[in-house]
């Protein structure tokens, strides 16, 4: 703090010239002059954000700058030369019910004069002179605080409900697919047993059965390596294979062909099968062998479907666990990409057909963070980006290193944020969404998590078609966090 010097004499006339005191009586102004003082400050800081709030300052003459800490930077919030402006311990009237610390930094750009009143005297003055106004101010302060907490809790519950509904929907699809595939697999296995009994009861010798089994194993292996075909390619192959099956006397070839094509089996492969079948003496049992192969292929495909479905369920559960940070320490060093990916998975249903581009800097080291709280930040920002694009566009998630900080940038191709409201989007209760669709606390919560909780920085750059929210986080923990 800059050392103050004695200023001019404090007189009722001097104080009455300041708009803050102009309506006070002579007795009240005399009391202020007795309990306070007029002091002169050289250029520099008067007090610093975070220090214990001991004094209330009213500018008599000079030039002041108010600053707030944002991450590693001091951001200027006001600059004025208006006599009578005040700052400092003006929450003293609330007593020990709130932390009595300076919530900004006051600096003077040239030698300036202030009326200075001790915080305890300000509290005494408010309680004795303005009891009704004090009750109103207390009600307003704590009422807004309680409202913000209640709406903030509602915001979290609404987000949780939306995510839960989306997760339930996402889990239902693979679970239903697995149940359906399991029922079909049971039928196919029963059919294979029946067909195997018919083959075994026929006239095939051991060599022929061995050859048929080898063909079956080869078909199963090709299922795992089946290429991905376009609808046109698949249709052409199905037509060709259906014609081939008809030519070889296999009934309902049109019904068998799609399954074989999906498994990667084509006409050339079946020509080889026929050649091997003739060599093994299976010519007369060709149709039975092909239908048995069909059961084999269907069984493999159904097992693949079950594996894919259960893997999808496992992935969603893992993402939900990662998102909620269940069974993990609140503050820990973690890979930001894991947090981003889990959030994108949780919001998958809401993102819908919007194209997602991940531009990750994989060299970015793990960062010490409150992981569950950061996931709430990603959720709020991505949800706003998706809403802005109205179902179509590109969502870009980028990470990079900037000196001693990690950068996470979430961009969208929506209409952008108008310049006249850009500086208000982080204000509590400010929203551009229709009534009932937003509380206006999502970005306020995000700001407090990033700036206050993580000593980071949250800002936005926006033009039509390119809006980017940028989160910067320290790569190293603070001394207090290291001790947690």
pLDDT at 61 (0 to 100):
92
- Tokens linked to 427: 């204000």
pLDDT, mean of residues 107-116? 91
Of these ranges, 58-72, 102-116, 267-281, 419-433, the one predicted with the greatest mean pLDDT is 102-116
pLDDT, tens digit (0-9, with 9 covering 90-100), for 136-192: 766 666 566 666 665 556 555 555 555 566 666 666 667 777 777 777 777 777 766
- Tokens linked to 163: 């995510």
Whether 347 contacts 383, CB under 8 Å: yes
Whether 385 contacts 356, CB under 8 Å: no
**pLDDT: which is higher, 460 or 3:** 460
**pLDDT: which is higher, 249 or 10:** 10
Q: What percent of the chain has pLDDT over 90?
A: 13
CA distance 127 to 100: 17
44 strand-pairing partners: 108
CA distance 337 to 343: 10
Whether 358 contacts 397, CB under 8 Å: yes
What is this structure's pTM? 0.47
Burial class (CB in 10 A: 0-12, 13-18, 19+), 103: middle
pLDDT at 337 (0 to 100):
92
Instruction: Tell me the residue ranges of DSSP E strands in 63-120.
Output: 64-70, 73-80, 86-88, 105-108, 112-118
- Which residues, other chains included, contact 71 with Cβ-Cβ below 8 Å and sequence gap of 6+? 405, 451, 455, 456, 457, 472, 474
CA Rg value for the chain: 36
Q: Mind giving me the DSSP string for 383-419?
A: HHHHHHHTT-SEEEEEEEEETTEEEEEEEE-SS---T
- Tokens linked to 46: 């008067």
Q: Among positive and negative, which fits the CA dihedral 119, 124, 127, 133? A: negative
- Which residues, other chains included, contact 106 with Cβ-Cβ below 8 Å and sequence gap of 6+? 45, 46, 47, 57, 64, 65, 66, 87, 88
Whether 361 contacts 399, CB under 8 Å: yes
pLDDT at 394 (0 to 100):
93
3-class secondary-structure state, position 370: strand
Residue 107 in this model has a pLDDT that exceeds 80: yes
CA distance 414 to 324: 29
Residue 3 in this model has a pLDDT that exceeds 60: no
């Amino acid at each position: 703090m800059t050392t103050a010097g004695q200023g001019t004499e404090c007189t009722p006339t001097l104080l009455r010239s300041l708009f803050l005191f102009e309506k006070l009586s002579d007795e009240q102004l005399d009391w202020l002059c007795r309990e306070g003082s007029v002091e002169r400050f050289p250029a520099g800081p008067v007090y610093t954000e975070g220090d214990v709030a001991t004094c209330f300052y009213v500018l008599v003459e000079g030039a002041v700058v108010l600053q707030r800490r944002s991450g590693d930077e001091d951001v200027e919030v006001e600059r004025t030369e208006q006599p009578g402006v005040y700052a400092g311990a003006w929450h003293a009237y609330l007593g020990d019910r709130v932390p009595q610390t300076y919530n900004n930094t006051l600096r003077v750009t040239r030698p300036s004069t202030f009326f200075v009143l001790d915080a305890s005297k300000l509290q005494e003055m408010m309680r004795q002179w303005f009891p009704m106004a004090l009750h109103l101010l207390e009600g307003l302060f704590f009422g807004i605080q309680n409202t913000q907490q209640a709406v903030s809790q509602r915001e979290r519950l609404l987000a949780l409900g939306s995510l839960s509904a989306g997760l339930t929907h996402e889990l239902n699809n693979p679970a239903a697919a697995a149940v359906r595939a399991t029922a079909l697999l049971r039928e196919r296995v029963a059919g294979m047993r029946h067909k195997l009994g018919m083959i075994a009861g026929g006239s095939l010798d051991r060599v022929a059965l061995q050859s048929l089994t080898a063909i079956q194993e080869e078909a199963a292996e090709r299922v795992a390596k089946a290429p991905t075909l376009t609808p046109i390619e698949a249709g052409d192959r199905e037509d060709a294979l259906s014609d081939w099956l008809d030519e070889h006397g296999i009934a309902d070839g049109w019904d068998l062909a799609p399954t074989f094509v999906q498994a990667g089996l084509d006409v050339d492969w079946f020509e080889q099968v026929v050649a091997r079948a003739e060599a093994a003496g299976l010519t007369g049992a060709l149709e039975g062998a092909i239908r048995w192969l069909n059961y084999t292929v269907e069984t493999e495909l159904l097992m693949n479907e079950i594996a894919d479905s259960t893997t999808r369920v496992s992935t969603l559960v893992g993402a939900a666990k990662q998102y909620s940070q269940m069974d993990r320490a609140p503050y820990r060093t973690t890979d930001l990409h894991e947090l981003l990916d889990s959030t994108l998975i949780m919001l998958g249903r809401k993102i819908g057909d919007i194209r997602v581009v991940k531009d990750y800097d994989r060299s970015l080291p793990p960062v010490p963070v409150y992981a569950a709280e950061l996931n709430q930040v990603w959720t709020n920002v991505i949800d706003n980006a998706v809403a802005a694009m109205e179902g179509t566009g590109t969502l870009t998630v980028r990470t990079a290193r900037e000196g001693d900080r990690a950068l996470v940038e979430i961009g969208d191709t929506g209409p952008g944020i108008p310049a006249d409201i850009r500086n208000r989007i982080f204000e509590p209760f400010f929203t551009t969404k229709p009534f009932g669709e937003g509380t206006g606390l999502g970005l306020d919560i995000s700001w407090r998590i990033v700036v206050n909780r993580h000593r980071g920085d949250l800002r936005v750059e926006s033009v039509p078609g390119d809006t980017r929210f940028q989160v910067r986080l320290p790569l190293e923990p603070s001394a207090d966090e290291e001790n947690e």
